[in-house]
A and B are shown apart, each in its own frame.
Chain A
Amino acid sequence: MRWRSDPPGAAGAAAVVAAILLVLNLGALGMVASRAEGWGGWSAADGAALRFTLWQALLSAVFSVAMAVPVARALARRRFPGRGALIVLMGAPFILPVLVAVIGLLAVLGRNGLVNDLLALAGLPRVSIYGLHGVVLAHVFFNLPLATRLILQGWLAIPAERFRLAAALGFGPGDVARVLERPMLRETVPGAFLVVFVLCLTSFAVALALGGGPRATTVELAIYQAFRFDFDLGKAALLALVQVALAGAAALVALRLTLPAELGPGFDRTVTRWDATAPGLRAQDAVLIALATLFLALPLAMIALNGLAALATLPASIWTATLRSLAVALVSTALTLALALPIAALAVRRKARIVEALGMLTIAASPLVVGTGLFVLLFPLIDPGKVALGVTALVNAAMALPFALRALTPALAAIEADYGRLADGLGLTGPARLRLLWLPRLRRPLGFAAGLAAALSMGDLGVVAMFASPEGGTLPLALYRLMAAYRMDDAAGAALVLLAASLALFWIFDRGGRLDADA
């Protein structure tokens, strides 16, 4: 016996969307391959870039996960006012524009930052944030919260009854760790480690802002430099192929592990832990939580502080760039939803595994590689500066797609489980099903997905850096130009504008999905 499934035109639409994505990813790859020069062009600097990419990703993943385990344990076994807010704050780096975080980190740890000022007061030499440790630091800033949330999910998935049983048997913290916690960590830590590692492999903006030079250049950054400085398309294409192989291999490994879902709900649960009441443990957890909070909140607070002062004197070009970025973000959001809905429909109605595959494909595929391919494709036809914003919106949409799918697909599956037979019986097919059943009942996840897509696009600095003409481009690119020109006051102001715009876009869409939503 099988369930009847009549695809209401969704299969056709999904096929079109899948084709678009394949063309975008594989077509770009094909264009790249067609232009790649032979291995003869591979230089010592390129080898150094490859080694640096792997090394910084490894260090970033090690530090992020090593610090995330004790922080997640502290959050799992303590209750305190503001715990919920802190966990929400740990979700924020996801929609935080990379350059905004970099500016915040510079304000704390940069040449004239808080830490160096304190060091100078104490008569010690100032430390530099640029280079390997700066890149790793910024990656840990972004990924420590992500890893913490992933591992915290594992902790909260241990049934409360197990801890009750442990208490009844008189387990101490060591026994709980051995019997309950370490088996859970063996399941969750490799997945969290790989997610961070893969994300750091394709990191571009951090390396652009804090790396550079022969000793701190990632493959992604080398692609951009081959492009921008040497205009050596053959070299850029060769590097792009290496990047694809790198991220593809990591993604294959990641597929074999069960990837934890980082956007899942249910963080508000705490379990009474009789094994962790010793004053020493309480103090340890308190210190860990305080340090993690400080590490996350201080750079953000500095942006607000420094940025406000500079707002009034911001150059007009920043405001035009803001408008351009808003337009790109809105177009990209619309594209994301238009791509995600048919794929989610296909995944639900046909029970296809396409969602996970697309998710991994897009995490591994780097915007710079897709950008290189599109550039090779479009360059003979049209001035790249003219299509910079359109290409950016499209590539951003493809990047946001896996996250949108992760929000939409389970919700759509629930809708079909609850109302599918009723809708089938009434003949609700095609546009009527979309308009009368799916869209109204998907409001919340649609709002959330739109918010994510808009914020990600608003803050993205990637392919636009390759395409934009010197006077054009988005707000993140304008911000980068201010930083490169060492106009740090203006940069702080622009960072505040970018931060506010990203958070506002997310909030408006997410809120819009919740307002007036029927039970």
Chain B
Amino acid sequence: MLTLDRLTARWGDWTLEADFSVEPGAKLALIGPSGAGKSTLLGLIAGHETPDAGRVLWQGEDLTDAPPAARPVSMIFQDNNLFPHLTAAQNVGLGLRPDLRLDRGQRSQVESALERVGLAGLGARKPGQLSGGQAARVALARALLRHKPLMLLDEPFGALGPALRTEMLDLVAELADETGATLLIVSHDPDDARRIADGVVLVADGIAYPPAPTEDIFANPPEALRAYLG
């Protein structure tokens, strides 16, 4: 279970507070106006940003001071998920060993991860030779290999067309089901949330509200969500 214990971040007048828990295996969508702190919340959980108060706990263990790589987290960003000077296979392999000294067994693990996301045989290509959808699949293959119990996605696939984006979201949901990972995904599209999330975290007015079931929250939106959806 992921627990955010009175987690607080401040930046001048701007604040973000979160105080709730997430069940293992949950799929949550983070929704709210831009600048409200959706990405910041993911950054706090992943360890890229440091809270001013409060704690982040996973299965009761305090992560607040752990560096990003030591946390049970795979994160996919809006962009720059791949190093452009490394091949697809190398980018995936970084998920196994950050120094890329892979043995034969690890190399075949990389191959099968690429195969699982539908990129068999494309391991030697560099990101510049891949389409946007293929590059997103490489990032997913790496997350799959790292096999971390928390998958955080910060408005991924934003540059992809609607059809491709739906396809990628379905793949993410499938992979999360296979690995039992807990999924937190930032999105500005309510349809994304309806498609793959079983709960919604509304981030607005300086607060990340506890998750509410997707059906309920869209059927009976609170004031802040109504203002955002228009």
- The yes or no answer to B40 lying at the interface (CB within 8 A) is yes
Query: B40 — which chain A residues lie within 8 A by C-beta?
Result: 1
User: How does the 8 Å CB contact mask read for B73-102 relative to A, with 1 for contact and 0 for none?
Assistant: 111010011011110000000110011100
Query: A255 — which chain B residues lie within 8 A by C-beta?
Result: none
User: How does the 8 Å CB contact mask read for A427-463 relative to B, with 1 for contact and 0 for none?
Assistant: 1110110011100110000000000000000000000
- The yes or no answer to A4 lying at the interface (CB within 8 A) is yes
A422, A425, A432, A440: the one within 8 Å of B99 (CB): A432
| CB-based contact A4/B98 at 8 Å | no
A419, A424, A436: the one within 8 Å of B69 (CB): A424
- The yes or no answer to A2 lying at the interface (CB within 8 A) is yes
User: How does the 8 Å CB contact mask read for A156-200 relative to B, with 1 for contact and 0 for none?
Assistant: 000000000000000000000000000000000000000000000
Query: B80 — which chain A residues lie within 8 A by C-beta?
Result: 418-419, 422
Query: B99 — which chain A residues lie within 8 A by C-beta?
Result: 431-432, 435-436
Query: B77 — which chain A residues lie within 8 A by C-beta?
Result: 421-422
> Known: A422-B77, A425-B48. Is A432-B98 also a contact (CB below 8 A)?
yes
- The yes or no answer to A230 lying at the interface (CB within 8 A) is no
Query: A428 — which chain B residues lie within 8 A by C-beta?
Result: 69, 94, 98
Main secondary structure of the interface of A (DSSP, over half): helix
In the assembled complex, how far is the CB of residue B223 from the closest CB belonging to chain A, in whole angstroms?
27
Query: A2 — which chain B residues lie within 8 A by C-beta?
Result: 49-50
How many chain A residues touch B (Cβ–Cβ < 8 Å)? 24
- The yes or no answer to A6 lying at the interface (CB within 8 A) is yes
How many chain B residues touch A (Cβ–Cβ < 8 Å)? 33
In the assembled complex, how far is the CB of residue A2 from the closest CB belonging to chain B, in whole angstroms?
6
| CB-based contact A421/B68 at 8 Å | yes
The distance in angstroms between the C-alpha atoms of A431 and B43, with both chains bound, is 25
The distance in angstroms between the C-alpha atoms of A30 and B43, with both chains bound, is 49
| CB-based contact A1/B11 at 8 Å | yes
| CB-based contact A441/B85 at 8 Å | yes
Total A-B residue contacts, Cβ distance less than 8 Å: 83
Query: A421 — which chain B residues lie within 8 A by C-beta?
Result: 43, 46, 48, 68, 75, 77
Which residue on B lies nearest to A433, using beta carbons? B98
Query: A429 — which chain B residues lie within 8 A by C-beta?
Result: 69, 98
| CB-based contact A426/B95 at 8 Å | yes
Q: Which positions 11-32 of chain B face chain A at CB distance < 8 Å? A: 11
User: How does the 8 Å CB contact mask read for B58-80 relative to A, with 1 for contact and 0 for none?
Assistant: 00000000011110011101001
In the assembled complex, how far is the CB of residue B154 from the closest CB belonging to chain A, in whole angstroms?
10
Which residue on A lies nearest to B37, using beta carbons? A1
| CB-based contact B75/A425 at 8 Å | yes
- The yes or no answer to A121 lying at the interface (CB within 8 A) is no
- The yes or no answer to B128 lying at the interface (CB within 8 A) is yes
- The yes or no answer to B126 lying at the interface (CB within 8 A) is yes
- The yes or no answer to B51 lying at the interface (CB within 8 A) is yes
> Known: A1-B11, A1-B51, A1-B52. Is A436-B83 also a contact (CB below 8 A)?
yes
In the assembled complex, how far is the CB of residue B185 from the closest CB belonging to chain A, in whole angstroms?
16
- The yes or no answer to B195 lying at the interface (CB within 8 A) is no
- The yes or no answer to B47 lying at the interface (CB within 8 A) is yes
- The yes or no answer to B10 lying at the interface (CB within 8 A) is yes
Query: B11 — which chain A residues lie within 8 A by C-beta?
Result: 1
| CB-based contact A4/B69 at 8 Å | no
Which residue on B lies nearest to A419, using beta carbons? B80
| CB-based contact B94/A518 at 8 Å | no
Query: A418 — which chain B residues lie within 8 A by C-beta?
Result: 80
- The yes or no answer to A44 lying at the interface (CB within 8 A) is no
B10, B81, B128: the one within 8 Å of A422 (CB): B81
| CB-based contact A519/B84 at 8 Å | yes
Query: A427 — which chain B residues lie within 8 A by C-beta?
Result: 67-70, 98
Which residue on A lies nearest to B43, using beta carbons? A421
Extra contacts, 16 of them, besides A1-B9, A436-B99 (Cβ < 8 A), are A1-B49, A2-B49, A2-B50, A3-B48, A422-B77, A425-B68, A426-B69, A426-B94, A426-B95, A428-B98, A429-B69, A431-B99, A432-B99, A436-B86, A440-B86, A518-B85
10 contacts between A and B (CB under 8 A): A1-B9, A2-B50, A424-B67, A424-B68, A425-B48, A428-B94, A429-B98, A432-B100, A436-B99, A440-B85
Residues of chain B touching chain A, judged by Cβ–Cβ distance below 8 Å, are 9-11, 40, 43, 46-52, 67-70, 73-75, 77, 80-81, 83-86, 94-95, 98-100, 126, 128
